[in-house]
Structure formats: structure tokens, C-alpha cells
Amino acid sequence: MVLGVANAKAQDAEPRSYSNTPVGLNFLIAGHVYSQGKMAFDPDLSIADAKFHSNTGLLAYVRSFDFAGQSAKFDVIVPASSFAAHGLVNDQPREREMSGLGDPRFRVSVNLFGAPALSAKDFASYQQDLIVGVSLQVSPPLGQYDNSKLLNLGNNRWSFKPELGISKAWGPWTFEVAPSVTFFSDNTDFVGGNTFAQAPIYAVQAHILYTFQSGMWMALDGIYFAGGHTSLNGVESDNEQRNTRAGFTSPCRLTATTR
């Protein structure tokens, strides 16, 4: 019996994705995410009481540059995770533990309006008003993958995420909204050579930020996404996703920059 799983694509809430940045800077960013909870599988599968916990470390590199007189950024994110899950399959206990690299993500973000390309010296006098930008994120299938297992750190497929970003500032307050859509290629080696396909996921995220005089900031984040129903060997599942998430961001950072 071939098992199929509704693979929920994680949606990240990212404030300040389209803020202006002095050109010619390099950023190295590290982070950690801990997650735990229940896992939702296709209702037709005999999998019950599935729970998981994971630790994910993130390492990212960002480079700002001038694109047609507007500021732009290139970034790459490489995740490494340890993951453990347990549940009942046909009323028998099963476990899955793994650790390794996930699929990396590469993104180019280009501001189209309101974020001129400035040197660090000229940026000191810049005041944001309205910024409009676009981005394209690509994730290649480079993460750890075992075609004999249902759960993996890598997805063994490509994903492409175009996004539109709008950011408007009023004094220390900034409001951001960013609609996007994520497209997926097929995984043609899913659990022993089956073809797993997923429809696009449509999302919109919004942020309300407050910036202190010191330059530190905090944000209230929200995201809604829908779509993403899956099919196995051409047979569609009734598992379209609809979800809403909310969060709070208050960065604590140590940044080194070079020209």
C-alpha cells in the first residue's frame, strides 16, 4: 500500500523584507527555530496520533546592491534540522528520526519605487515613505531525502515563489503587506517511485512595525494562506489548506558589515 501525505508548505512571516538598505553591504544572519505539535495526514490514511518536535538552525547571507537606481538584495538561506516524530500506523507504533540539511532558498528582491540605491553615507538622511517591490524565491531539491520514507527534511522538488511587497511609513510606524504564490514541481520519486504533486499555495502577509529612536524595532505579524491540495499518481486528495498565523518579532542582533 502506497502512503501519501499532505505536505504543508511552511509559510514564513518576514517583516521589513522590502525596507531600503544601503548598497554594497553584506550581512551574515543566524537563527534557531523550535517546533512541536501534531501532524495532519490525508484522512484516508491509517495514521493516527502523529506528533513531532524539531530543532532547526538557519544560516543566511544577504548582499545589497544597486538595480536600475533602486536598492535590491540577494539572499540565501540554508537550514539544518533534527526532527523526530511518532504515531500509530495501522494501530502499530512507528517512529521517524532524522537530522541533516533541508532545501536551501535563494531569493532576489528588487524595490521598484521609493527605495533609491544609496551609499551608507547618503542613507543617513533617508526617510521612508512608500516602497513598492517584488521578489522571486527559488528552492532547489538539495536537502536530505530518502525515497523509502514518508517524512523527509528535503522535498525532492523545486519551488518558486514570486511576491509583491508594499511598505508605507507614518513616523515611527510602518505598515507592510505582501501577497505571494508558491508553485511546486512534481516529486517523481515519492515513496518508491510514485509521483507526488501539489497545487500552488496563495498567501498574504501583513506587518505593523514600530521603530524606536535607537533603531531597534518590533512588529506584529499575520499571514493567511490557502490552496496546496495534493495528488498522488494523478489522483487528487481533498486536502486543500486554509490557515491563519499570527506572531510577534523583536530582533536582537549582532551585525558585521563590510564594503
pLDDT band at 39 (very low <50, low <70, confident <90, very high): confident
10 within a domain of the structure (yes/no):
no
Query: Dihedral of CA 232/198/154/43: which sign?
Result: negative
What range does the domain containing 84 cover?
26-249
Residues 25 and 21: their CA atoms lie apart, in Å, by: 8
Digit-coded pLDDT (tens) for 70-126:
999 999 999 999 999 999 888 889 999 999 999 999 999 999 999 999 999 999 899
Work out the average pLDDT over 38-53. 79
pLDDT in tens, 168-188: 999 999 999 999 999 999 999
Q: How many domains does the chain have?
A: 1
Q: What is the pLDDT of residue 240?
A: 86
Residue 9 lies in a domain: no
Q: Is the pLDDT of residue 6 over 80?
A: no
In the predicted model, is pLDDT for residue 10 greater than 80?
no
The whole-number average pLDDT for the span 183-202 is 95
Mean pLDDT for 24-51 is 84
Its pTM stands at: 0.86
Domain assignment present for 42? yes
- Range in 2-6, 137-141, 165-169, 241-245 with the lowest mean pLDDT: 2-6
Distance in angstroms (rounded) separating the CA atoms of residues 48 and 52: 12
Q: How far apart are CA 178 and CA 111, in angstroms?
A: 13
Alpha-carbon gap, residue 223 to 14, rounded angstroms? 10
Is 199 among the domain residues? yes
Per the prediction, the chain carries an average pLDDT of: 89
> pLDDT value at position 210?
96
Give the residue-averaged pLDDT of 39-52.
78
Secondary structure of residue 120 in the 3-state scheme: helix
In a domain, 189, yes or no: yes
Q: What is the pLDDT of residue 101?
A: 96
